[in-house]
Amino acid sequence: MKISLLGTLAAVTLALAQPASGHENQTPEHQKSENETPEWWYASGEREVARRREKLDAPQARNLILFIGDGMSVATVSAARILAGQQAGGSGEEYRLSFENFRHTALARTYNTDQQTPDSAGTMTAMATGVKSFGGAIAVDQRAVRGDCESMAGTERPSLIELAAAAGLTTGVVTTTRITHATPAALFAKSPERGWESDTAMPPSAREAGCRDIARQLVEFDLDGPIDVVLGGGRAAFVPTDVEDPEYPARNGQRSDGVNLIERWQQRYPDGYWAWNRQGFDAIEPGFEGPVLGLFEPSHMQYEHDRALDPGGEPSIAEMSIKALELLQARAESGYVLVVEGGRIDHAHHAGNAYRALTDTIAFADAVAAARARVDLDETLIVVTADHGHALHFSGYSQRGRPILGLAHGTGLAGGEPRVARDQDGKPYTTLSYINGPGFRPGPRPDYEDIDPHDPDFRQEALVGLASSTHSGEDVVVYAIGAGAEVLYGSIEQHLIFHALLQAQARISALADAIRNDAGLPDWQRLLARVRAQDSPD
């Protein structure tokens, strides 16, 4: 009996997914380290980066820029490179995205302390605080319990942005997602649950125990002042349910506590600047000296492909990066730290939509290029990486120069004219596909002969049917250039990225060392105590 390739692979995949009898949820003891404590994670990363810096005589940086392509797997970079090259008129394979020209590269292992395939909260906690943690963790270590407010006490970790602000550097956070989403949240908030973006999303027990939602923590951020520049989406989490959105009057806010956090931010920083649309963004002068808060959508910002159709208009990730740099550079007496996330790459992948994932990756690369052109690499370290991979697959023996979003075409082993590649049933397939996701179709494979896979709304075929395509557990590439970049090489644990950034900047590194040398309190409490003491009158 003939068995289709798809059916065979599906059966094998499902079989492999079943745990072996008697070994469910167990990690072999020889694969675990008894020393895997938060302190061990931090110290191991600290020691390894210090060793590399000493060996290479790595220079110090005044400024730090971290770019994160959320879900930007190796396959994503490869396919986006080809698409960008083809859009520029070439065959595509030889093209380079901006960060692919960076001299130093490494492979980062992305697993969480509890997940083989990670989530963005745990991975960003590793890069933001220098310790690996569990899936769902927002800058708390693995001792906390997901969703348990009271378990969080004493597990909070200071982030790179918080250390920078307390050390007197100017700081900025830019994202195309909600500003309260997992990746940006780990830079300014502490939470055992990434979903607690507004008070409405929190269980009553968490609110009663004293936990604060992520939006509130952003507004109440105060480490010698606020974050200087915050640009992204997600304004609904900041306003009450009875307040209409300025761009979409039919949509209201999300807060149940009746607090308008945007108004509270404006009251707290009367010298600040608030923007919600393109007009407001464009009006921000590069020399403006107050804090800036720009939230350009109620939820996530538009995909790059859809941005031009936004009713209120919104800036691109490159434009936000340039604006943030201009503002930070104008006031950075001691240097600055800027973190930029291209977050919607991940969302397009979850939707099984390679077109938007790749065009957002290209826009992300444009933002990196814009930043690179505006800094002095003798005093600036730029790191570009992903928080995790995705289930995008790139295969099919296509001839060079074939459209990356199209059907697979090949010449065959004997050469000859290019022809559409076909499966065992004679049906064509696309060069890009997903291992799992919403592109799955039950029954016989669809015939793509009369379907346009270049349509921006086309969902690539998936092997396993899921409502949302998953992350992948593969390593991600780290690209680095500038002062201190040489320490990022080889196969590294993801939390080393934090230590490479931290130790490259002397003021932040000195503060981190000082609070760790204090006794009696966790690092986060020591940092708060130092800042409060500095702000108190004699």
- pLDDT on residue 9: 33
- pLDDT tens, residue order, the chain (538 aa): 333 333 433 333 333 333 344 434 444 444 456 679 999 999 999 999 999 999 999 999 999 999 999 999 999 999 999 999 999 999 999 999 999 999 999 999 999 999 999 999 999 999 999 999 999 999 999 999 999 999 999 999 999 999 999 999 999 999 999 999 999 999 999 999 999 999 999 999 999 999 999 999 999 999 988 999 999 999 999 999 999 999 999 999 999 999 999 999 999 999 999 999 999 999 999 999 999 999 999 999 999 999 999 999 999 999 999 999 999 999 988 999 999 999 999 999 999 999 999 999 999 999 999 999 999 999 999 999 999 999 999 999 999 999 999 999 987 666 667 789 999 999 999 999 999 999 999 999 989 988 899 999 999 999 999 999 999 999 999 999 999 999 999 999 999 999 999 999 999 999 999 998 876 678 888 898 888 787 655 4
Q: How far apart are CA 433 and CA 445, in angstroms?
A: 13
CA 214, distance to chain mean position in Å, is: 16
Give CA angle at 289 (287, 293), nearest 5°: 105
What are residue 323's phi and psi, to 5 degrees? Answer: -60, -45
Q: How far apart are CA 97 and CA 85, in angstroms?
A: 9
In the numeric block, which tokens belong to residue 48?
A: 């390894």
Domains and their CATH numbers in the chain: 38-391+474-530 (3.40.720.10), 394-469 (no CATH)
| Distances, alpha carbon 34 to alpha carbons 30, 41, 156, 501, in Å | 10, 12, 22, 27
3-state secondary structure of 91: coil
- pLDDT on residue 534: 73
3-state secondary structure 384-442: EECCCEECEEECCCCCCCCCCCCECEECCCCCCCCEECECCCCCECECEEEEEECCCCC
Q: How far apart are the first and last CA of the chain?
A: 87
- pLDDT on residue 489: 99
Q: How far apart are CA 160 and CA 179, in angstroms?
A: 17
Q: Is 91 an annotated catalytic residue? A: no
Determine which one of 120, 159, 191, 321 is catalytic: 120
- pLDDT on residue 415: 61
Q: What length is written for the chain?
A: 538
Q: How far apart are CA 236 and CA 157, in angstroms?
A: 27
- 407-423 pLDDT, tens digit each: 999 876 666 677 899 99
In the numeric block, which tokens belong to residue 321?
A: 């990066």
- pLDDT on residue 35: 79
In the numeric block, which tokens belong to residue 380?
A: 């600036």
- pLDDT on residue 157: 97
In the numeric block, which tokens belong to residue 441?
A: 């179709």
CA 28, distance to chain mean position in Å, is: 31
- pLDDT on residue 414: 60
- 389-406 pLDDT, tens digit each: 999 999 999 999 999 999
Per-residue b/e over 36-48, b at no fewer than 16 CB within 10 Å?
Answer: eebeebbbbbbeb
In the numeric block, which tokens belong to residue 373?
A: 């052109």
